[in-house]
Structure 1
Amino acid sequence: MMKQQKSIEKVMPMIMIVFILAGTLMEAFNISAPILSDEFGISSSTVSIMSAVSMLVMGVSYVIYASLSDFVSVRKLMVIGIVILAFGSVLGFVSSGSFLMVVISRAIQMAGGTCASALLILTATKYLTENKRMKYYGFNTACFSGGQLVGILIGGIFATYIGWKYLFLVPVLSLFTIPLILKYLPEDSTKSKQKIDFVGLFLLGCVSLFISLYFNVMSIYILLACFAFVTLFFVHISKNKNAFITVDFFKNRKYMLVLLIVFLTYSIQGSYSFLFSFMASNVHEIQLDKISMILLPSFLVSLVIGIFGSRITQKLGVLRTLILGFTCLASALIVGSMILDRNILLLAFVSCLFNGGFAMLYTPIMTLVINSLPEGKRGAGLGFFNLCIKITSSIGLVITGKLLTLEPFQLNAVMSFMTSEGIIYSNILLVFVCCILLSGITLNFGKKYLGL
């Protein structure tokens, strides 16, 4: 047993490397969004679909890997995921002349690369002692922030000096981790009659996709299709005993209240760095490599807070940590909406406050999710929670892309002293403020119900 634990600890850094390499491209392509928009001759709204689809695939893949890990070995799942990640990388590089193929390739990359983020926690929980696994729970957040940090850094450099299509090749490096994964992870697959609810995941994915498409093209037919998929999804989970999420979860008022807070809050998480690249390049005329360096400190702040997130929550308590996180977010967005056209260094400070606030929220929100669920349903509940984060971030990205194209947002300034170039970005940041305020109000009214 002790020998196996030592072997597992030797391979955990390999899983973390795959986690970081896969997560790197999310921020790298967000930073490269203005160049993609120009090169393909498409709007910012259309470019945002790439990130939205990637996030959606990531959320669905997370649930699939978590479900498969009950009877398929982590060793086998990691190797399969890495091979899929490498295939998507090569496909994206050779077909980078087509935006549609770029979107498809990014989706394939995320389908493979999510293996690491999904299986890091599961591997620690399954094979390591409680003291050892707690360390990797903290590293999970650190890997996410580390991927963002590296992505911000290389995104600007590649887009400016090397060529954005070469970003696709970065995750190919994950292939070098396979020998150690095969050597140190045990092959402990078991025969099982358990089936993955692909139909349920497909229907929920379609709901998210059609919501995103509706905000992009504003077609009543797409909205009707969305309602149809919502109906089919609820009919499916009502009648299928093996559904990945059951109707009981939607009857759990505490759980649904937490998900509402998640929806309002995380709808803006991925949108900020996407918006930042347009703000910096269009308002301050800064090249993408310099935009990366400006955002770098904010992800360092996020990385540090992520590592110490559990300690902060234990020290302050769940409610105070949430209030502090929301205060940081609201303050960052309000200040940003007022000074975004003044000085880029002030905008860098705003980004530190924003990303730090989000890093502070994850642990207390995760605690609320766990406490709202009976012990036997926490696995499925946490999987659905992570899926909801990706879906809301995906939808938020598409809405942000659409807001960038709306004429009223470009001409009517809420902040009357804002320059013409900064009006639209100031208005969108104020929309983000509204989301955070609604989330805070929801928390305030529900805090007693949540036991806070």
Structure 2
Amino acid sequence: MVMETGAAASNSVPERPHAPSELEINRRKTRRALPALLTVFTLGSLLIQAFNLVFQNIGDSLSMAQSASLISTLPGIVLGIVCMLYGTLCDFVSPKRMTMFGMGALILGSLLGFFGASSFWMVLIGRMIQVAGAQVSGSVFVVMSVKFLPAREKAVYLGIYNAIYYLAAAIGVFAGGFITSFHWKYLFLVPLIAVAFLPTLIRNTPDVAGMGEKIDVAGITLFAIFAGLIAIFFSFQNPWLLLATAICGVLLGIWIAKAPHPFIGKDFLRNKAFMAVLLLQFVFFFFNFAAVPIYNVIGENLYGLALRQISIYLTVVYVVATVIGIISGPLVNIFGRYRTLLLSALCMVVGFAGSAVLIGRGFVVLTVLACVFIAGVTACYTPIYDAASDALPVSENGRGIGILDLMLNISSSLGLAVYSALISSDAFQAGGIFGVEPGAEAATSNMFWFMAAVSLLAVVLVVVFRKYVTVQRPGTTPEPVATA
């Protein structure tokens, strides 16, 4: 018996190490590719701020002063369209192909703008292509994070992605003088730094497409046109554009209902968890675009501050938002989505209501309160996108991200329109409570009360939709039990 056992042991074949699964391979690649994608996206975000500072200089130097704002407006519209489009396409086209397309467009737009700097229209076209190319890296970053990374890592990367927007805004304020000190055409060359990351992106971006799914070209095209019309309407506010948007929306709805294989199926639309998260996002980000304009109004009209002084205070707010964005992922991992969203909404209520009450107590006080409400707006991004990605099958995460981006744009733009109408209304300027004087002070105070009311609605919705907010993918660690 002993001899047989020894022989068996000597003839046994060592067990081969377990081969990594496709998910594990893509997860490793994703971790190596994400820093490069984030760098490219950061460069694109910085350029948005830079061209917003110099667009008038471009118009003046090319004798197109009256059309100069197009340098800022049209690329912004393009950005609103491609954010939705790229996320959706990531369910059908591999991240690697998407990234290579984006890098190509980024380089083409940069060269076109630089060498065509003597023509306003070449500069405009180059800038639009450049924006479209840079955003690919951002969309691929988010979709790769939610598709391939474990839950705890996913939350961290979503928070970092959100922080980049505010970081770019903060740098834009400080670098304003430097940016305007040299010829604007050299800004087009800044994204060429991204070429250094091409080898890393080629090696490590996963080359995985939708399994057997065909691209619904007609449906996605209708969706892109719908998103584009929404963005154009909020930029130019023409009633004919609103009519065209409504017609396109109806056609899109008919296509989704009647097409044999639409890119958004009926099960997607019946997903209660995703729809609940979508409604939460609409409410949370309703006044996202209005936070800075109301701050400028207070500084100029109530405290007589110059725009440069206001920008310095605003930089503090942006820095706070950047820090909160970075730590929002760890916050979600520690406290869970429900508590993080509840805390975010309460910060918004406190920040807005506090500003309404203390509107005349000094700009420093209002800056502190602005930090509180911007912290709430920033912190909610990670749990919302995290919850949405878990509410959907992994194969539909790209579409989910695309629709979330579209909803964010619609909600924020609609909120800005509501803000503009209310703050200039006679009713809001007539008088306020707690001794607030009529006029600009009353208008801003009443506006803050309205913002606080919307934020309070967000608190209620978070509580109502608690079970949808905490939904988890199969196989992931359950979220901490919410007792609030």
The TM-score with structure 1 as length reference comes to 0.77
Q: Deviations over 1:263-310 (max 9, x none)?
A: 121122233234434543554454555444323333333333333324
Output the CA distance in 1 between the equivalents of 2:177 and 2:83. Answer: 27
Greater relative CO, 1 or 2 (CA 8 Å, sep 6+)? 1
Corresponding residue number in structure 2 for 1:114? 135
**1:85 aligned to 2:106?**
yes
Q: Is the 8 A contact 2:166 2:319 kept in 1?
A: no
Amino acid at match of 1:331: V
Give the share of equivalent positions with the same residue, in percent.
23
Corresponding residue number in structure 2 for 1:270? 289
Corresponding residue number in structure 2 for 1:139? 157
Q: Deviations over 1:27-74 (max 9, x none)?
A: 5677889999999679x9x999668625522422432452354xx452
Q: Is the 8 A contact 1:138 1:306 kept in 2?
A: no
Q: Deviations over 1:318-344 (max 9, x none)?
A: 332222110101111222234455433
User: 233-242 or 8-17: which moved more?
Assistant: 8-17
Identify, as 1 or 2, the structure richer in helix: 1
**1:169 aligned to 2:188?**
yes
Corresponding residue number in structure 1 for 2:87? 63
Corresponding residue number in structure 2 for 1:294? 313
Structure 1 residue 349, shift from structure 2 partner: 1.2
Output the CA distance in 1 between the equivalents of 2:190 and 2:92. Answer: 23
**1:303 aligned to 2:322?**
yes
Q: Is the 8 A contact 2:88 2:402 kept in 1?
A: no
**1:236 aligned to 2:258?**
no
Corresponding residue number in structure 2 for 1:20? 42
Corresponding residue number in structure 2 for 1:412? 430
Output the CA distance in 2 between the equivalents of 1:219 and 1:66. Answer: 33
Structure 1 residue 21, shift from structure 2 partner: 1.6
Corresponding residue number in structure 1 for 2:453? 434
Amino acid at match of 1:63: G
Amino acid at match of 2:168: V
User: 174-183 or 242-251: which moved more?
Assistant: 174-183
Q: Is the 8 A contact 1:159 1:289 kept in 2?
A: no
Q: Is the 8 A contact 2:430 2:438 kept in 1?
A: no
Quick one: structure 1 residues 380 and 182, their matched pair in 2 at CA, closer, same or farther if it must change by over 3 Å?
A: closer
Output the CA distance in 1 between the equivalents of 2:261 and 2:156. Answer: 32
The TM-score with structure 2 as length reference comes to 0.72
Q: Structure 2: give runs of 5+ residues left out of the alignment.
A: 1-19, 471-481
Quick one: structure 1 residues 3 and 214, their matched pair in 2 at CA, closer, same or farther if it must change by over 3 Å?
A: closer
Matches within 5 A, 1:52-451: 53-69=77-93, 72=94, 74=96, 76-88=97-109, 107-123=128-144, 130=150, 134-135=152-153, 137-155=155-173, 157-158=175-176, 162=180, 169=188, 171-181=190-200, 184-185=203-204, 188=207, 194-211=213-230, 220-340=239-359, 342-373=361-392, 377-400=396-419, 406-408=424-426, 411-414=429-432, 417-418=436-437, 420-447=439-466
Structure 1 residue 233, shift from structure 2 partner: 0.9
Output the CA distance in 2 between the equivalents of 1:173 and 1:286. Answer: 38
Amino acid at match of 2:166: Q
Q: Is the 8 A contact 1:298 1:352 kept in 2?
A: yes
Q: Secondary structure at the match of 2:133?
A: helix
Bigger Rg over Cα: 2
Quick one: structure 1 residues 277 and 166, their matched pair in 2 at CA, closer, same or farther if it must change by over 3 Å?
A: farther
User: 179-188 or 260-269: which moved more?
Assistant: 179-188
Q: Is the 8 A contact 2:102 2:134 kept in 1?
A: yes
Quick one: structure 1 residues 282 and 152, their matched pair in 2 at CA, closer, same or farther if it must change by over 3 Å?
A: farther
Amino acid at match of 2:245: C
Q: Structure 1: give runs of 5+ residues left out of the alignment.
A: none
Q: Deviations over 1:182-204 (max 9, x none)?
A: 66436847799754344334433
Q: Secondary structure at the match of 1:308?
A: helix
Amino acid at match of 1:59: C
Aligned length: 443
Q: Secondary structure at the match of 1:269?
A: coil
Quick one: structure 1 residues 329 and 305, their matched pair in 2 at CA, closer, same or farther if it must change by over 3 Å?
A: same
Output the CA distance in 1 between the equivalents of 2:146 and 2:240. Answer: 45
